[in-house]
Amino acid sequence: MLIGGVPSSPTPLWPHFLPDGKQFLYNSFSLERGDYQVWIGSIAGGEPRTLMPAPSRVEYASPGYVLFVREGALLAQRFNLSEQRLEGTPVQVVGQMEYFAPSGFAPFSVSQNGVLAYQPRGNSSRLVWMDRNGRETGTVMPLAAYQYPRLSPDGKKLVVGKVDPRSGSADLYLTDLASGGTSVPLTSNPNHEYSPVWSPDGRTVAFAMNDNAPPFLHKVGLDGGVIETLIAPSGGVQTATDWLKDGSILYQDVDHVTNTDLMLLPAGGDRKPRKLLATRFNEMHGTISADGHWLAYVTDDSGQQQVYVRSFPQMGAARRVSINGGLWPRWAPDGRELYFMERGRLMAVTVRTSGELEAGTPIVLFQPSAGLVDYDVAADGRFLVNLGKAGFNATKLNVVMNWEAGLK
């Protein structure tokens, strides 16, 4: 089946019109070959033609180039527009820029009068210990690009994603904090592994991974053995957010009708996933209190992402606990506080969960000058904080005039 000259399967991505306004370039991923191809399609219909293998989105630029990214570098290659064929070999335009190989995402744009804009590669981050006043009390790992740091239930181990700058995808690394920070890969493959959560016994890690499909849930033991599938691909993006004491896994999934939903994978029975919260808004970042009776999560039903709390597993009325927005809620080990991120600050709100939920007014614990990327809470009340360099959270764009001159 063709839709405007584009095969409906595999899924077409990143369309970009050629100068005539009728023909366009686009990407598609082949499950059989396991690679991306760039095609030329037409709004007039007909069979599309393959142009080149390319692991990123592609744009055409006058007087006759196509631009694309490979291993984090922006390249340009001659393109004969009239004959619609490539000529010569690719030449580097930018050495390091943002890039995510699993989807082909590459933030650049080029005009037809010689202006190029692109997002340079993001800064590295560092993992540090901080107290409630924002004082650094120790460094956990050397400078790298980290994401989703998660402490084990006993606080002796850490699992964190470490991004490969050449592809933008991450592997999970296991760090033994008790032995002084020895770090080993927990996963090692071309896929992107992210958002790890620990099993209650601290022996297994669940996470999301793309494997010839949008990310879906997997698990692996601490020995770094065989990666097992927890849930079949749903077509949306699955992200693990918490692993409950009864063995159930809380996660979020993306639905084309209800957007991001909070889901539960039961530990027993038919193990059929069920929806906890599914509206036309986004519900995400779900986490369960230590006593198992309260669910904290984020939704944008007010027009802004805010933190809410509901009773669990019987889903009671939602109580909003943030004021000026919030992301990534985390329960204090004793359940008496709830933490969340708000505009680069770490916030805390006191909660009383015996009987009816009562919540105080959020207060600012600290706002690191280096940029708060994400965090986790240790059993002793310390915070493991992922800090970026100054301006980490600000999107930067570089603009190059007459970019083609650099090729000469």
pLDDT at 29: 72
Judge whether residue 117 has pLDDT over 70. Answer: yes
Query: Which whole-number Å values give the CA distances from 64 to 41, 119, 404, 408, in the listed order?
Result: 18, 23, 10, 15
Judge whether residue 390 has pLDDT over 50. Answer: no
Name the residue ranges covered by the structural domains of the chain. 2-121+395-407, 125-388
Judge whether residue 2 has pLDDT over 80. Answer: no
CA distance 272 to 257: 20
Q: Please name the residue that has the structure tokens 């055409």.
A: 60
The DSSP result for 111-147, as a single string, is -TTSEEEEPBPPPPEEEEEE-TT--EEEEEEEEE-EE
* 352, containing H or E segment: strand 345-352
Q: Which residues contact 73 (CB under 8 A, 6 or more apart)?
A: 92, 94, 95, 96, 97
Q: For strand 23-30 and strand 12-17, is the pairing parallel, antiparallel, or unpaired?
A: antiparallel
What whole-number percentage of the chain has pLDDT above 70? Answer: 93
Judge whether residue 112 has pLDDT over 70. Answer: yes
How much is the average pLDDT of 224-250? 91
Give per-residue pLDDT as tens, 354-388.
Answer: 778 889 999 999 999 888 899 999 989 999 999 98
CA distance 230 to 243: 13
Judge whether residue 331 has pLDDT over 50. Answer: yes
The overall pTM is greater than 0.75: yes
pLDDT at 350: 95
CA distance 113 to 108: 15
Write down the CATH number for the domain with range 125-388. Answer: 2.120.10.30
Q: Which two tokens stand for residue 90?
A: 């690719």
Say if CB 182 and CB 176 are below 8 A apart. Answer: yes
Residue 165 CB burial class (10 angstroms; 0-12, 13-18, ≥19): middle
pLDDT at 6: 42
Judge whether residue 30 has pLDDT over 70. Answer: no
Residue 355 CB burial class (10 angstroms; 0-12, 13-18, ≥19): exposed
CA distance 284 to 316: 17
pLDDT at 389: 58
Give per-residue pLDDT as tens, 43-52.
Answer: 998 899 999 9
Q: What is the chain's length? A: 408
Name the least confident of 77-86, 108-117, 174-183: 174-183
Say if CB 328 and CB 343 are below 8 A apart. Answer: no
Judge whether residue 8 has pLDDT over 80. Answer: no
| Single-letter amino acid code for the residue at 132 | R
Phi, psi at residue 404, to the nearest 5°? -65, -25
Query: What CATH topology corresponds to 2-121+395-407?
Result: Neuraminidase (2.120.10)
CA distance 64 to 329: 50
| Single-letter amino acid code for the residue at 139 | T
Say if CB 159 and CB 173 are below 8 A apart. Answer: yes
Comparing 212 with 152, the larger pLDDT belongs to 152
Residue 155 C-alpha from the chain's centroid: 24
CA distance 114 to 385: 42
Other CB atoms within 10 A of residue 240 CB:
26
CA distance 108 to 92: 14
How much is the average pLDDT of 205-214? 89
Report angle CA 233, 69, 80 to the nearest 5 degrees. 115
CA distance 387 to 91: 35
- 102 cis-preceded (ω within 30 degrees of 0): no
Comparing 269 with 41, the larger pLDDT belongs to 41
Domains 2-121+395-407 and 125-388 share a fold: yes
Q: Which two tokens stand for residue 349?
A: 């709100």
Helix (H, G, I), strand (E, B) or coil at 169: coil
Judge whether residue 152 has pLDDT over 80. Answer: yes
pLDDT at 306: 97
How much is the average pLDDT of 386-393? 62
Average pLDDT of the chain, as a whole number: 89
CA distance 96 to 292: 45
- pLDDT tier at 32, thresholds 50, 70, 90: low
Q: Which residues contact 35 (CB under 8 A, 6 or more apart)?
A: 29, 53, 55
